[in-house]
Structure formats: C-alpha cells, structure tokens
Amino acid sequence: MSTSASNPYPLVGLRDNERATVMVKDVTIGCGPPVLIAGPCAVETETQMFQAAEMARAAGARLLRGGAFKPRTSPYSFQGLALNGLRLLHQASVGTALPLVTEVVDTRDVETVAQYADMLQIGARNMHNFALLRAVGATRMPVLLKRGVAATIDEWLYAAEYIAQAGGEAIVLCERGIRTFETRTRFTLDVAAVPVLRQLTKLPVMVDPSHAAGERRLVLPLARASLAAGADGLLVELHPDPAKAACDGPQALIGTDIPKLAALMRADHGIRE
Ligand code: PEP
Ligand code: MN
C-alpha cells in the first residue's frame, strides 16, 4: 500500500473517525471500559507467579502479564526463565482464566512464545527491530507494541505499520515513558501521547505507568493521569515480595496497593474519545 502526505499510516491511521478494537480471547481493548493488564515483571518461581496472578485478578486485571524472556539493559542481569517461564505463565493464565500477555525478544522465539501467549508484547528496546515486528505481525496474533524510549510518536506508528503490513492488524500501542533530562523518574511518562495518538491512529492506546515511574509510590498517580487522559487501559507490574524480585522490584505494586488499583479501575473515567 502506498502512502501520501495526508495519509502516512494507511493501515493503522485514523480514517473517518473509525476506531479499532483489539480482542484478546474474550477481552476487548478499545472503545469501552479501560482494561487492566497486570502481573510481575518476570516469572521467577511457581509460587511467585501463582501469588502474583492472584494479586492481578484481585486488582481487576482482565489480562495477565509476566516476562519469560527479559530484554535487560545489562547482559549480566536476570534474563528470564525462557521456556520454563512460558510453562509457568501458561499455568497461571489457565489457573486464573486470564489471557496471557508476554514479551518476545528474538525472531527465533516467536513461534514458541506464540504457542503459550494470547498476546505478544514488543518491548521498548525492540520497537525498532523491524525483523521482529514483521515476525510477530506474521503470526496475526494480538500485539502490544511498547514505545521505544527515544522514539517519536511517528516512529512508533511506523513500527505499528510494519506489524500491520506483515498481517497483524490487532495492535495495541503502549506508552511507557521516554528518556528525557529528568532523573527523578525512571522515564518521563508522555501522557500527551494518548490524546495525540487519538488524532492519528485507530489503534487502542494503553499506558504502562510502572516502567515510567520506576518507583512504587508514583505508579497509581500516573495510572490515574493516564486514565484521565483517555487511555484504553493500563499495564501495571506487581509482585508478592518485591524485595526479592529478580527485576523491577522497586516499581512493583504490593498487596496494600491492590484495593486502590481495583478502585481506580472501577471508577468512571468518562468518555475515551
Ligand atoms: C516490561 O514490560 O517488563 C518491559 C521490559 O517493558 P519495557 O519494554 O517498556 O521496558
Ligand atoms: Mn519490568
């Protein structure tokens, strides 16, 4: 498909104000109540994953998350449990009846991850990995496409076009914070991306306040701001024992946060237009 100056996004762009919804099993993302995706950063043990999945369900999550393949900045950091992790995630997903969102970081793993997941996550570090974007698109599975830490909104939408071109049109965009000069937060949450994307794309837009915040106490205020800005949902990390977490413990919500998150998800956030 060709593009023109007025329509740079033939597959994911907004036309005639027609918005797309993305179905992950029986869960609809977009054009309705906000959807919560929750779970630990990484799957670590059977007990940890089971407890985290119960926390996610108590928070009102409709989808369960957890990484088995972790895209770590340092090669010396925990890289995930790989196939064993996928098996544990699948178990927790079936046990809670929450469809599973999990990240794939390598084209060679797409087929395997696709067997266990209901939605494939492309992480911030891979938003520009065009071979991976094409590979996940070719599965035609729902894809959660995170924004790259230094990607403009237009670059992000082109990444979505790569996925759609390969055949995967069920794409959800996820703002997760960008790199700025500010160091008091892990990344700077670009809340404005939500209403800006509304003008440019038909795709649903979610927000991940956890990776932007980097710190537990900031997660719920950023989550609230995201829903107020019209996000179609949130992706939030939690952990039964964050002090022992293999990654991203400081930003993981804990048991006492769960009722607050549940109340936030239940609140009326007005019209997401
Ligand atoms: C994650 O969701 O655990 C993750 C690694 O996120 P991001 O790619 O946004 O850093
Ligand atoms: Mn994480």
User: pLDDT tens for residues 207-232?
Assistant: 999 999 999 999 999 999 999 999 99
Q: Give the length of the chain.
A: 273
Q: Are residues 232 and 34 in contact, defined by beta-carbon separation less than 8 angstroms?
A: yes
* pLDDT of the residue at 5: 60
107 alpha carbon to ligand 2 midpoint, in Å? 20
**Residues 196-209: what's their mean pLDDT?**
98
**Residues 127-147: what's their mean pLDDT?**
98
Interval 156-165: pLDDT, tens: 999 999 999 9
CB count, 10 Å around CB of 148? 21
Short-list 122, 165, 159, 116, CA closest to 140 = 165
Whether 271 has a pLDDT exceeding 60, the answer reads: no
Whether 1 has a pLDDT exceeding 70, the answer reads: no
* pLDDT of the residue at 7: 83
**Residues 100-114: what's their mean pLDDT?**
98
**Residues 100-105: what's their mean pLDDT?**
98
Q: How far apart are CA 89 and CA 111, in angstroms?
A: 16
Short-list 28, 58, 13, 8, CA closest to 272 = 28
Determine whether the shortest distance from the Cβ of 71 to ligand 1 is under 6 A: yes
Looking at the CA of residue 121, tell me the nearest atom of ligand 1: 2
Q: How far apart are CA 118 and CA 90, in angstroms?
A: 10
Q: How far apart are CA 240 and CA 55, in angstroms?
A: 8
42 alpha carbon to ligand 2 midpoint, in Å? 7
The band of 4, judged by pLDDT with boundaries at 50, 70 and 90, is low
Residues within 5 A (CB) of ion ligand 2 = 41, 248
**Residues 77-100: what's their mean pLDDT?**
98
- Least confident stretch, 3-7, 101-105, 154-158: 3-7
- The strand ranges marked E within 142-241 are 143-146, 171-175, 205-207, 233-237
CB count, 10 Å around CB of 36? 22
Whether 2 has a pLDDT exceeding 90, the answer reads: no
Whether 153 has a pLDDT exceeding 90, the answer reads: yes
Task: Name the pTM for this structure.
Answer: 0.97
CATH for the 22-266 domain, from 3.40.50.300, 1.10.10.60, 3.20.20.70, 1.10.3720.10: 3.20.20.70
225 alpha carbon to ligand 1 midpoint, in Å? 20
Q: In the predicted model, what is the mean pLDDT of the chain?
A: 96
The band of 272, judged by pLDDT with boundaries at 50, 70 and 90, is low
Q: Is 204 exposed, middle or buried (0-12, 13-18, 19+ CB in 10 A)?
A: buried
Q: Is 188 exposed, middle or buried (0-12, 13-18, 19+ CB in 10 A)?
A: middle
Determine whether the shortest distance from the Cβ of 238 to ligand 1 is under 6 A: no
| 3-state secondary structure at position 22 | strand
Whether 273 has a pLDDT exceeding 60, the answer reads: no
Determine whether the shortest distance from the Cβ of 147 to ligand 1 is under 6 A: no
Whether 269 has a pLDDT exceeding 90, the answer reads: no
Whether 255 has a pLDDT exceeding 70, the answer reads: yes
As a whole-number percent, the residues of the chain with pLDDT over 70 amount to: 96
Determine whether the shortest distance from the Cβ of 146 to ligand 1 is under 6 A: yes
16 alpha carbon to ligand 1 midpoint, in Å? 33
38 alpha carbon to ligand 2 midpoint, in Å? 11
